[in-house]
A = this chain, B = another copy of it.
Amino acid sequence: MRRRFSYVTAEEAKEKIANALSFHVVASETIPIDDAFNRVLAENIVSPFNIPPHDISHFDGYALKAVETTDASVQNPVYFTVVDRLYPGQTPTREIRSGEVCYVTTGSFLPTGVDSIIAVEATKTVNNDQIEVRSKVSLHEHLIPKGSDVEKDQILFKKGHKLRAQDLTMCAALRIGNITVFKKPVAAFICVGDELTDDLDAVAEGTVVNSLRYAVSALIRGSGGEPIYLGIASDDVAAIKEKIDEGVSQADLVLLTGGSSKGTKDVTSEAIDAVGKPGVIVHGLKRKPGRVSGFAVVHGKPVVLLPGLCHSLVVGFYTFVLPLIQVLSGLSDAEKRWVLRAKITQQLSFRRFIPFEQVTFVHVTKTQRGYRADPFVGDSSSFSVLARANAFIINPPQKTTVKTGEEVEAHLLPGFFTLNDLF
């Protein structure tokens, strides 16, 4: 018996998914920091020590206790004995007592017993080991306190943080050479359709090159996942089921492209239900293109049904797969979508026949005054529209016109744009 479509909004779909799937992140692994660029932390990074580890001199001068200079003046010079000399990198061993100072250069670690520096030029050497001070020194003058850059036990980067270049240097400075990050979510995908071929030289009548697999693979990578292509399945329940079984056993999520509309051959949802419970929980999205997208859970793993036309596929991916990969990645801000406001350069009109959101692909570029969005209207299978676009707008169902110059929200999909377009 064929399942009837039941269209839901993206919001409703999200709620159904949250109810059916106990989201979890993928396993973590410990790796050297040199491999950790762009990875997501699976632990908090806590500073094991202070940076700087000691108070440090910011000047060439003498380290002393400021209070001992309180009464110093030209009329009443105060004398100190130089009992030690410290250079950068040397660990202080001798404590400085009352009436004593320690010679230091810029960057020297300070010994205990001192709290301020007087610059060499503000003193007068009386003899080899005695100096004269004729003015009051302020507390902490010319001194960089220990821990003023990084404090011991401070949380520097939280679990869920994506590591940037400078973060890795911070870890190394703290002598943290290995860190625990989340594994990249593995997304297996299957392309369904009797007509499909992966042989670009195939000439047999009725064959269609499975060109979408390349976009799917790149979109998974762009979203932070690791793609595994499981190949083409014919429009046959058993064949599709076999590949889903394979995907569920190997990957963190499984995607199916094609075979998800209402045609007589659309057996993908039947195949999913045959794999396990609860099976298909969302099938039909109030968003066009992309309306035949769906979401299933089998053996606790998410399975996404993506349409077989390229525009629809991109919208389905954005709606269901991107958030999923980001949640599984352990990103603390996995909910964040990339949206920018842009002025549309051409009027858009939508029919109001159904309560669906309508997606229009646009090319967003930066101008002197914000962003502009050039819309492209074309069939859902138009490759050239996608090639010209770098974003899309989602028009709400009740709105039938977007006027020229009107501001719209352009949605960005990782893998689908380059930053040179936007900055």
Within 8 A of B (CB), among A76-113: 88-91
Within 8 A of B (CB), among A350-379: 378-379
Choose among B172, B210, B382 the residue that contacts A214 (Cβ–Cβ < 8 A).
B172
Choose among B90, B170, B176, B214 the residue that contacts A383 (Cβ–Cβ < 8 A).
B170
Q: Which of A3-11, A23-31, A66-74, A159-167 contacts B (4 or more CB under 8 A)?
A: A159-167
Report if A33 contacts B (CB, 8 A). Answer: yes
Task: Establish whether residues B218 and A156, one from each chain, have CB atoms under 8 Å apart when the complex forms.
Answer: no
Q: Which residues of B contact A90 (CB under 8 A)?
A: 205-206
Q: Which of A275-283, A335-343, A396-404 contacts B (4 or more CB under 8 A)?
A: A335-343
Task: Establish whether residues A169 and B37, one from each chain, have CB atoms under 8 Å apart when the complex forms.
Answer: no
Q: With A and B bound together, what is the CA distance between A380 and B210 in angstroms?
A: 53
Known: A169-B310, A200-B172. Is A383-B150 also a contact (CB below 8 A)? Answer: yes
Q: Which residues of B contact A382 (CB under 8 A)?
A: 149
Task: Establish whether residues A89 and B310, one from each chain, have CB atoms under 8 Å apart when the complex forms.
Answer: no
Task: Establish whether residues B218 and A165, one from each chain, have CB atoms under 8 Å apart when the complex forms.
Answer: yes
Report if A419 contacts B (CB, 8 A). Answer: yes
Q: Which residues of B contact A230 (CB under 8 A)?
A: none
Q: How far is the CB of A35 from chain B (nearest CB, A)?
A: 10
Known: A166-B387, A212-B169. Is A37-B217 also a contact (CB below 8 A)? Answer: yes
Task: Establish whether residues B175 and A209, one from each chain, have CB atoms under 8 Å apart when the complex forms.
Answer: yes
Q: Which of A13-21, A232-240, A409-417 contacts B (4 or more CB under 8 A)?
A: A409-417
Task: Establish whether residues B37 and A166, one from each chain, have CB atoms under 8 Å apart when the complex forms.
Answer: no
Known: A172-B210, A383-B149. Is A164-B51 also a contact (CB below 8 A)? Answer: no
Task: Establish whether residues B166 and A215, one from each chain, have CB atoms under 8 Å apart when the complex forms.
Answer: yes
Q: Which residues of B contact A150 (CB under 8 A)?
A: 383-384
